[in-house]
């Protein structure tokens, strides 16, 4: 047989990597469906009785749907504003990289990716409090600004691969620079917009630190923040805690499963082109 030989080292590494991901997920699902009495037995065993009411109790104790609504509002707003504003900034930089000021802006934004959040955390908390931005609106604005560094990096690389002749032809036809961007460039950014949108969705939905230090109203808590509060109050009730974790985790797992091809291809295009 002239078939391809199996690369066993790579295959073994892939199997180990898969197990490292699937094993914690298996534990999360099984613990979320067990009774407290079953926790004293074999932790790896399947539940003897599937206790679906754990999810109902977790929803009531964590005020799940309020936190879910907050996370949904934040995530949707951040994605829309990020796509509209970050692409504009990247376009202005990409088409003027020959100018010293825009080249400086590009490296300035990219350098922000290397600044750890704890360094700027306390000044941000104080400033947002002074400006009355310690709410959902302030949190949304911070996400849009903080995402600018990485998004400009991948947007610029992709925009530079778009021929300038398309813009010149539109300008000859009477289009303004504003119209050129929205009618010519922005539609061509669809693959990159999908990548930025998906990565922003995963980040805004799962982020814990920024809501923790910014939000002052408990009713404005997001899902990760609610999980933290719930764990601190009911640390021994692992069944309900894991049920709440699973409900918060499920939407983003589905998003990543269906959108991973856009993430990988988009990042590669933005960094190589």
Mean pLDDT (10-residue bins), the chain, 273 residues = 69 87 85 80 78 85 88 94 94 91 91 85 87 90 92 90 88 87 90 88 90 86 83 68 84 77 58 47
pLDDT of residue 39: 75
Half-sphere exposure of 83 (CA within 13 A, CB side): 22
DSSP state of 217: -
Q: Give yes or no for a contact between 145 and 79, defined as CB atoms under 8 angstroms apart.
A: no
Which CATH number covers residue 149? 1.10.3720.10
Rounded-to-integer distance, Cα 231 and Cα 236, Å:
8
pTM of the model: 0.81
pLDDT of residue 221: 87
Domain annotation covers residue 135: yes
Domain annotation covers residue 144: yes
Domain residues for the domain of 150 are: 73-222+257-272
Domain annotation covers residue 249: no
State the total domains in the chain.
Answer: 1
Domain annotation covers residue 17: no
Domain annotation covers residue 244: no
Domain annotation covers residue 217: yes
Rounded-to-integer distance, Cα 143 and Cα 140, Å:
5
pLDDT of residue 85: 94
Domain annotation covers residue 190: yes
Domain annotation covers residue 26: no
Rounded-to-integer distance, Cα 123 and Cα 126, Å:
5
């Amino acid at each position: 047989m002239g078939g391809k030989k199996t690369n066993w080292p790579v295959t073994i590494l892939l199997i180990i990597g898969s197990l490292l991901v699937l094993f914690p997920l298996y534990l999360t699902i099984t613990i979320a469906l067990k009774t407290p009495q079953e926790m004293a037995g074999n932790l790896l065993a399947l539940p003897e009785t599937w206790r679906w009411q754990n999810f109902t109790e977790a929803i009531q104790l964590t005020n799940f749907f309020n936190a879910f609504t907050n996370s949904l509002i934040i995530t949707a707003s951040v994605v829309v504003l990020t796509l509209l504003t970050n692409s504009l900034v990247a376009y202005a930089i990409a088409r003027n990289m020959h100018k010293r000021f825009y080249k400086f802006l590009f490296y300035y934004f990219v350098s922000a990716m290397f600044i750890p959040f704890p360094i700027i955390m306390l000044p941000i908390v104080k400033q947002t409090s002074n400006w009355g931005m310690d709410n959902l609106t302030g949190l949304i604005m911070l996400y849009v600004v903080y995402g600018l560094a990485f998004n400009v990096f991948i947007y610029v690389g992709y925009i530079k691969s778009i021929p300038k002749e398309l813009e010149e032809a539109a300008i000859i036809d009477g289009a303004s620079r504003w119209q050129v961007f929205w009618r010519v460039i922005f539609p061509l950014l669809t693959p990159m917009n999908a990548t930025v949108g998906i990565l922003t969705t995963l980040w805004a939905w799962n982020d814990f630190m920024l809501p923790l230090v910014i939000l002052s109203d408990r009713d404005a808590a997001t899902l990760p923040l609610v999980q933290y509060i719930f764990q601190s109050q009911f640390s021994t009730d692992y069944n309900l805690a894991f049920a709440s974790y699973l409900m918060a985790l499920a939407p983003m797992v589905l998003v990543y499963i269906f959108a991973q091809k856009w993430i990988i291809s988009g990042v590669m295009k933005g960094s190589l082109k």
